[in-house]
C-alpha cells in the first residue's frame, strides 16, 4: 500500500470491532497535527441535505481527508464530524467521544450502516443533542442508548463500531449526517423551530461556511 504505515492505525478485535479505545490521545494528536482545520458547513448548505457518495478509494487522499476532519473537529470542539460538515461529499465520519462508562473512543469509519437492534437492546435515552452544523443550539432527542455501526476502516477493511450512552448517540448522529439528515430533522416542528431560533441568536465559536 502506498499509504504510510502509521503508528496510530487501529486494529480489530476477535469479533471484528474496531479497537478505538487504545492510544486515543496519541492517535487523535497525530491525525490533527497532520491535518488542516476547515470551516464547518451549516444547516441550509445542500451538501448536508443529501446522501453522500460511498468511499471507493481507500488511499492517501482519504487519509488526508480524515486528518483534516480530526483537525476541524478539534477546532470546533466536536465529539464527531461527518465529511459533509467540511463540504466533502463522501461517506466517512470521525469521532473523539466518551461513552457512559467514561471510556474515550477515537476512530474513523467509512460507508457506515447502523445495525438494527433487538427489542431488548432498544432503550431510549432523551438527553440533549447538538450539532456543529447547527451552532449554539441544543434540544432533547430520544435515541437508543446503544448502537452498532458497520462499515470500512480507512484502508477498506470491514469493521464494526459499537458504543453506549453519549457515544451511541454520536454514532447515530454522524451516520444520519452521511444520509443527509440532521438531528433537527428528527425533532417535532416546534422543537426544530426553537433550535433554529437558538442558532439564529447565537454566535459560533469556530469558523463556518456562510450559506448563499
Ligand atoms: Zn452534527
**Is 49 a known ligand-binding residue?**
no
Q: Ligand 1: distance of its center to the CA of 30 in Å?
A: 23
Decide if 174 is catalytic: yes
Question: Hey, what long-range contacts does 120-124 have (CB within 8 A, 24 or more apart)?
Answer: 121/146, 122/146
- The Cα 38–Cα 36 span in angstroms is 6
Residue 136 pLDDT > 60:
yes
Catalytic residue among 8, 77, 120, 174: 174
Residue 95 pLDDT > 50:
yes
Q: Ligand 1: distance of its center to the CA of 90 in Å?
A: 15
Q: What's the confidence (pLDDT) of residue 8?
A: 53
Q: What is the mean pLDDT of residues 160-172?
A: 97
Q: Ligand 1: distance of its center to the CA of 130 in Å?
A: 7
**Is 105 a known ligand-binding residue?**
no
Q: Ligand 1: distance of its center to the CA of 1 in Å?
A: 32
Cβ contact 16:162 at 8 Å: no
Domain ranges of the chain: 24-201
Is the domain covering 24-201 a CATH 3.40.50.2020 domain?
no
**Is 173 a known ligand-binding residue?**
yes
Residue 102 pLDDT > 70:
yes
- The Cα 38–Cα 3 span in angstroms is 23
Q: What's the confidence (pLDDT) of residue 212?
A: 80
- The Cα 19–Cα 3 span in angstroms is 20
140: buried, middle or exposed (CB in 10 Å: 19+, 13-18, 0-12)?
exposed
* 207 phi and psi angles, rounded to 5 deg: -65, 135
Q: What's the confidence (pLDDT) of residue 3?
A: 43
Amino acid at each position: 500500500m502506498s499509504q504510510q504505515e502509521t503508528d496510530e492505525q487501529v486494529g480489530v478485535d476477535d469479533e471484528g470491532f474496531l479497537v478505538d479505545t487504545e492510544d486515543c490521545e496519541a492517535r487523535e494528536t497525530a491525525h490533527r497535527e497532520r491535518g488542516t482545520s476547515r470551516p464547518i458547513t451549516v444547516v441550509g448548505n445542500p451538501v448536508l441535505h443529501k446522501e453522500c457518495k460511498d468511499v471507493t478509494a481507500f488511499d492517501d487522499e482519504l487519509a488526508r481527508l480524515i486528518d483534516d476532519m480530526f483537525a476541524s473537529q478539534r477546532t470546533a470542539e466536536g465529539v464527531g464530524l461527518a465529511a459533509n460538515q467540511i463540504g466533502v461529499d463522501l461517506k466517512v465520519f470521525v469521532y473523539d467521544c466518551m461513552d457512559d462508562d467514561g471510556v474515550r473512543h477515537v476512530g474513523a469509519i467509512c460507508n457506515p450502516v447502523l445495525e438494527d437492534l433487538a427489542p431488548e437492546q432498544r432503550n431510549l435515552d432523551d438527553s440533549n443533542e447538538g450539532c456543529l452544523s447547527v451552532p449554539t443550539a441544543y434540544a432533547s432527542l430520544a435515541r437508543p442508548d446503544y448502537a452498532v455501526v458497520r462499515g470500512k476502516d480507512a484502508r477498506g477493511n470491514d469493521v464494526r463500531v459499537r458504543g453506549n450512552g453519549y457515544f451511541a448517540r454520536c454514532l447515530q448522529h454522524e451516520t444520519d449526517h452521511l444520509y443527509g439528515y440532521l438531528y433537527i430533522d428528527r425533532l417535532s416542528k416546534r422543537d426544530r423551530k426553537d433550535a433554529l431560533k437558538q442558532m439564529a441568536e447565537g454566535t459560533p465559536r469556530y469558523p463556518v461556511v456562510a450559506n448563499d
